[in-house]
């Protein structure tokens, strides 16, 4: 009995942890009117606001919601009421009124009817459930788009930051290689260094220079890819925590 109780408590605890780890899609990307303090999250906001595909999936939710509303009222379209007043009664009524009589010899004096589409009425609940599911599918597509936009934006920003860090390191190494090359060059002119040492220093400098140029290209490429997803040029991004 004690083991069963412990096992049940463990299951409840595990279920609670799983529930707590579910994604809150409402806060996954902050709304436009709330500017994110964290710079990376601000970039995610920009990416979401400037994403045409994101706007499309949000519009799909509105379309699904409108269609669901229309479907819930659809049964009313198939309800038709009819009312007919017997023409003979009208003529006799007039004749009777002129003689002071009110003969009523035609029955029924009027007809009232209601036409119903039983198939549509009996299937209305199923139609409503289908439309509700369509709304849920559209909302899931929005949530999926949020996950994709957030992951892609953060990944591209990380790549951009890495490229800048590598450029800084390559630039520093080039400066050191250049200083070493200039020193070896002077010593070589004074016959204090061999030709091999001179060529090695020159090769190290040129390799460092080439690595710095490639690093600059990587920074430019990763910046362009980041600008693609946020919809703005890097120079246009304004945030207190922005790193130049």
The continuous run of DSSP H or E covering 55 comes out as helix 52-72
pLDDT number for residue 112: 59
Which fold does the domain 31-79+116-236 belong to in CATH? Outer membrane efflux proteins (OEP) (1.20.1600)
The pLDDT tens digits of the residues spanning 151-177 come to 999 999 999 999 999 999 999 999 999
Q: How confident is the model at residue 203 (pLDDT cuts 50, 70, 90)?
A: very high
Q: Across the chain, what does the average pLDDT equal?
A: 83
State pTM to two decimals: 0.74
Q: Provide the b/e sequence for 176-214 (b: ≥16 CB within 10 Å).
A: ebbebbeebeeebeeeebeeeebeebbebbeebbebbee
Spatial CA neighbour of 54 closest among 227, 226, 229: 229
pLDDT number for residue 30: 84
The interaxial angle of helices 195-230 and 118-189, nearest 10 deg, is: 160
The pLDDT tens digits of the residues spanning 88-131 come to 555 555 544 554 555 555 555 556 566 666 667 777 888 889 99
Q: 155-160: long-range contacts (C-beta < 8 A, 24 or more apart)?
A: 156/222, 156/225, 156/226, 156/228, 156/229, 157/40, 157/43, 157/226, 159/222, 159/225, 159/226, 160/219, 160/222, 160/223, 160/225, 160/226
What is the gyration radius of the CA atoms in the chain, in angstroms? 39
Residue extents of the structural domains in the chain: 31-79+116-236
């Amino acid at each position: 009995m004690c083991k069963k109780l412990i096992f049940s408590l463990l299951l409840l605890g595990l279920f609670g942890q799983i529930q707590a780890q579910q994604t809150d899609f409402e806060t996954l990307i902050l709304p436009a009117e709330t500017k994110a303090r964290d710079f990376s999250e601000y970039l995610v906001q920009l990416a979401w606001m400037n994403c045409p595909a994101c706007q499309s999936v949000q519009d799909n939710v509105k379309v699904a919601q409108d269609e669901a509303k229309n479907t819930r009222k659809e049964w009313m379209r198939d309800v038709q009421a009819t009312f007919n007043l017997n023409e003979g009664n009208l003529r006799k009524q007039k004749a009777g009124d002129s003689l002071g009589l009110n003969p009523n010899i035609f029955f029924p004096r009027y007809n009232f009817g209601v036409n119903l589409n039983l198939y549509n009425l009996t299937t209305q609940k199923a139609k409503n459930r289908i439309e509700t599911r369509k709304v849920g599918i559209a909302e899931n597509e929005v949530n999926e788009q949020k996950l994709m936009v957030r992951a892609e934006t953060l990944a591209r920003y990380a790549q951009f930051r890495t490229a800048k860090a590598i450029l800084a390191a390559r630039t520093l190494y080039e400066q050191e290689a250049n200083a070493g090359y200039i020193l070896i060059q002077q010593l070589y002119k004074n016959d204090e260094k061999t030709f091999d040492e001179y060529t090695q220093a020159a090769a190290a400098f040129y390799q460092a220079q080439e690595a710095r140029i490639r690093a600059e290209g990587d920074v430019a490429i990763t910046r362009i890819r980041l600008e693609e997803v946020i919809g703005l040029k890097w120079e246009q991004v304004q945030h207190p925590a922005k790193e130049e």
